[in-house]
Amino acid sequence: MKRIIILLLICLSVNFVEAKPIEISYDNGIYHIVLTGEKIRRRVKFVASESLMSNKEAHIKGKSELTINAGFFDPENGKTISYVVTDRNTAVDPMFNENIYTNPILRKNLDKLLNRTEFRVVECNNKYEYQITEHKNGVDFGCNIITSAQGGPMILPQLRLEEELFVIKDKDGNVVRESASVLHKTPRTIIGIKDGDAHILIITDKNPMDLYEVQKLCKNLGLDRAMAFDGGSSTSLNYKKELEVVSDEGSGRLLKSFMIIPKK
């Protein structure tokens, strides 16, 4: 009888072992990060810098355990092209970037640009959850966006290249404009959701992908929803003091916005 009770207790203890909140694996040039559980959802924060800084600088400044690059920005003036919400307040707003209005293509397609997909942490009834949706989509009654960062395009459940102004085609269906190298192989920062957990893919220059290849990868991983953040030379990852991934030599490209997970 004692033996049965001991075995039962062992089984119960195994079943209740909590998964690590941050798990990182690497395969074939791709880092796969999984953020598991309610506690980690409450620690995720998107931030924007007043001046541009490297991912490593943001990692140190934010006293962060994990830091990745987030939204798009204008390299000419250092201003954002993506919305970022920090601690329930809009931190940066592309509407204040004058270069958007002086660019005839962007000005003509402003609605598409401003409605690009974003990743959110939302509070509903004191529970935190992740969402991936277009910027202009509201939240349910009684829910609040705690933090978010816009990027794009959406990858799953469907790839929204034209809808989010990453591809423009002429009347014959020929591509006449492409943004963020979406049709070319390049490093990528991808974030997705599966069974309530966040999945981050840092696709390095050892295995660059176009977004059709990224979509196939996300489907193979069983992600429910997925989207891109800024990529190419912006692709960056810092984890504790153990891991740093950049696409440029040295400290990496200077960036505008970041996803951080502050240390406990």
Residue 176 in any domain: the answer is: yes
Residue 5 in any domain: the answer is: no
Residue 4 in any domain: the answer is: no
| Token pair of 199 as six digits | 């999945």
Residue 2 in any domain: the answer is: no
Residue-wise pLDDT tens digits, 115-156: 999 999 999 999 999 999 999 999 999 999 999 999 999 999
Mean of the per-residue pLDDT values for the chain?
Answer: 93
Residue-wise pLDDT tens digits, 32-77: 999 999 999 999 999 999 999 999 999 999 999 999 999 999 999 9
Residue 7 in any domain: the answer is: no
Collect all residues with Cβ–Cβ distance below 8 Å to 69 and sequence separation of at least 6. Answer: 55, 189, 229, 230, 234, 235, 236, 255, 257, 258, 259
Number of domains in the chain: 1
Instruction: Specify the pLDDT at position 15.
Output: 47
Residue 1 in any domain: the answer is: no
The domain containing residue 138 runs over which residues? 20-262
| Token pair of 201 as six digits | 């893919």
Residue 166 in any domain: the answer is: yes
Q: What is the C-alpha to C-alpha distance for residues 44 and 120, in angstroms, rounded to an integer? A: 10
Kindly report the pTM of this predicted structure: 0.92
Residue 14 in any domain: the answer is: no
Instruction: Specify the pLDDT at position 18.
Output: 57
